[in-house]
Copies of this chain bind each other. A is one copy, B any other.
Amino acid sequence: MSLVMSRSHALVTRLRGATSLVHDRSIARCTPTDRVSKNARLGDLRRWQSTTKSVDERLPRVIAQTTVFENPWLRLKAIRFLDERGAERQWTGLERTTTYPDGHAIGQESKCDAVVVFPFLTQPDAPTRVILIRQFRPPVGKWVVELPAGLIDGEEAPDVAASRELQEETGYVASRVLHMGPPMVNDQGITNGSCRFVLMQVEADAQASAEPTQQLEADEMIQVLVAPLESLVPWLLERQHTHGDAIDARLYSYALGLQGLPPTLA
């Protein structure tokens, strides 16, 4: 069962006068909208796809969103969309109210919620290390070893947000941006949450103090960890094993990449 199949919410309504949601995938295949011709309806899947393409290049697309739950930080939405064949379907997705305050997400350029910083801690004549944080995350119910990160404030530039978050969460001051990634989505099956990956250099010798001080709110639960870059993957696995910590996906994926190609391919 794929992510799509299992969560595909084959709740199908007719385009007009929809009042109830039906749990039946077979119905999905029998409810083309009026955007799809009668001939197309008679074809097989391959024919559907090619026929649909000629009918409406804009498929699939979201056509409406309804809020089913909201608090000051999150909004859960029932999303109505047309699939590749023009059949209407429904999905449930979560978004941050802090990023989409007006609910005009449909059709607009994607915004980016947050920055995630990979801080290379460099020192002359010493191996480069990485500054990580360990944060208690209520949705996971655990401490998570992760990268310093935070929401981009309003019109703030991503590099400014990255420097600020790094300093607030770890006390370290970055000297330069080494790479600014594009917006990337974190868990696209259930949320539109997005972030930019920012690689930064932090020069140990340029810090005001040998023991940088965090600037945490009273309700932040963050510990600073400095890890070896050379053996970051085994370090993370050991951390998970000995402390029961969870591991952030961006951190592990990047660390694994830094190891290079798997031996049998290299």
Give A residues with C-beta under 8 Å from B: 1-10, 23, 25, 28-29, 45, 60-62, 68-69, 71-74, 76, 79, 81, 83-84, 89, 91-96, 98, 105-107, 110, 114, 120, 122, 128, 135-142, 144, 146, 149-151, 153, 165, 168-169, 176, 178-179, 181-195, 197, 199, 201, 216-222, 236-237, 240, 246-262, 264-265
Contacts and interface: CB of A to CB of B under 8 A. Distances in A.
A69 B72 contact: no
A188 B110 contact: no
A143 B202 CA distance: 36
Given A184-B247, A218-B28, A249-B195, A189 B257 contact: no
Contact of A68 (B1, B69, B190, B247): B69
Given A182-B252, A184-B249, 13 more contacts: A2-B169, A5-B150, A8-B217, A76-B94, A81-B138, A128-B261, A140-B188, A140-B192, A179-B262, A182-B240, A185-B246, A194-B246, A197-B256
A256 B256 contact: no
A195 B260 CA distance: 21
Contact of A249 (B135, B141, B192, B253): B253
Contact of A168 (B2, B135, B182): B2
A247 B137 contact: no
A175 B171 CA distance: 47
Nearest to A153: B1
Contact of A93 (B138, B153, B219): B138
Contacts of A146: 188
Given A188-B246, A190-B139, A246-B110, A255 B257 contact: yes
